[in-house]
Amino acid sequence: MSINRINVERILERIDQLAACSLGKRGVTRLSFTPESRCASRMVERWMREAGMEVRTDPLGNVIGRYPGRKPGAPAFLIGSHLDSVVEGGKFDGALGVVTGIEVVQTLREQGIRPDLPLEVVAFCDEEGARFHTTLLGSRAMAGTLDDADFDAMDADGITLAEAMRTYGLEPLRHREAVREPGTVAGYLELHIEQGPILERENQACGIVRGIAGASRCRFRVEGRAGHAGTVPMDLRQDALNGAAEIVLAVERVAGQMPSVVATVGQLQVFPGSSNVIPGRVEGTLDVRSLDDEQRHTALRRICEEAVRISRRRRLLFACRTVMETAATPCAPRLIRAVEEVMASYGLSALRIPSGAGHDALAMAALTEVGMVFIRCRDGISHHPDEDVSPDDIRLGAAVLLDAVLKLTMETASDGRGGKPLKEAGVRRTT
């Protein structure tokens, strides 16, 4: 398929229309089960119909458009992303994957192409979890990994997820009906902005996601001894903050020595927190991520060993406990290969990068094989009104998605015919 078949103006127009479904003036604020999310869902439903899809909304509020394949009984190939945003986020995060998904189908239809497998575009309802702190809600519902207890989560106003869904017109108790049977799904491919700076540094518009990093989230505590900032000589202090500062730098050093690992101290609280009192206690969070679970565990062990050593030397106590842990989720080689072949056919190098952030693909991996295409975002900025992606990068990303989907939805892909990018196959039909 020629890149020129992609109607990037239509994509950008739709991104802007979705961005208008927002609370407040700064950036995009579209929390789940709100008037803003309903507005966005309605738009998406309309565009899906316009693109020739049958549209339904599942019990969680995921909007699903289906473009039937030539073999009606075959499992569906899924593409998509999420419609919700963080508070004062950007307009591309999530929305770009939904809109390019629709664009892929609309282009296929405009070109008069019908794949072997049914193609579904999914607009997931609650990936960010900005309202209820329950991430990947829609995709977990579809993958069948949601618990009844998840619906007790509460927003800042004390409204539970279950209540919010009922007010919105959904029935939380029916969430099991959103679960897809594994045999009915042939794979999930998601296009998303990178939300990081790697593609920009490497001067690449698109990247192939190797997998979604596993993460350990820990809470740590450094205990020393509070004292008067004026009366205790430096050599008699047991300053918890000075110890914590050394530990923070150890976190940075350990992660810096392991190429596949990133580690972050994002929160740090100092007690009693008075300008004239030597800190007696510090509490903080440690976030360690890697695509390699073993490397992640090694990093965490080294950090803790360093922290204990530092604390012992300073006569402090160090304690750390892991409060959340997720294993790395590799993307399926078959999907990686499909995207790679498309990019090679465009004469582009196919940079494989890890996803340090979670995405709906992470939840969908419990149901089916997943893959992700990342699009470069300016300065690596995301979750911010300044989030930006260039039209050329969007055009290329949409074309890659389209051609990869074609490869993956042709049953004859294995014999090399259906798998050929349409660009090569010379398909030029228009409706």
Task: Indicate the residue among 205 and 406 with the shorter CB distance to its own copies.
Answer: 205
Q: Residue 414 carries which DSSP code?
A: G
CB 57 within 8 A of CB 168: no
CB of residue 32 to its own copies, shortest distance in Å: 19
Give the tokens for residue 98: 């939904």
Task: Indicate the residue among 250 and 413 with the shorter CB distance to its own copies.
Answer: 250
Q: In 3-state terms, what secondary structure has residue 157?
A: coil
Instruction: Tell me the Cα Rg of the chain.
Output: 24
What is the DSSP secondary-structure string of 196-245? SSHHHHTT-SEEEEEEEPEEEEEEEEEE-B-EETTTS-GGG-B-HHHHHH
Task: Indicate the residue among 255 and 363 with the shorter CB distance to its own copies.
Answer: 255
Determine the Cα–Cα distance for residues 422 and 409; give it in Å rounded to an integer. Answer: 13
Binding site residues, its own copies, CB under 8 A:
194-198, 201, 213, 215, 217, 227-236, 239, 241-242, 244-246, 248-249, 252, 255-256, 261-268, 270, 273-279, 285, 287, 289, 355-358, 380, 382-383
CB of residue 248 to its own copies, shortest distance in Å: 4
Task: Indicate the residue among 69 and 354 with the shorter CB distance to its own copies.
Answer: 354
Task: Indicate the residue among 184 and 260 with the shorter CB distance to its own copies.
Answer: 260
Between the alpha carbon of residue 385 and those of residues 211, 244, 377, 381, the distances in Å are 27, 33, 13, 9
CB of residue 239 to its own copies, shortest distance in Å: 7
Task: Indicate the residue among 252 and 341 with the shorter CB distance to its own copies.
Answer: 252
Contacts of 37 (CB under 8 A, 6+ apart): 21, 30, 31, 61, 83, 84, 125
Task: Indicate the residue among 41 and 81 with the shorter CB distance to its own copies.
Answer: 81
Contacts of 212 (CB under 8 A, 6+ apart): 291, 328, 329, 331, 354, 355, 357, 358, 359, 361, 362, 365, 372
Determine the Cα–Cα distance for residues 146 and 32; give it in Å rounded to an integer. Answer: 16
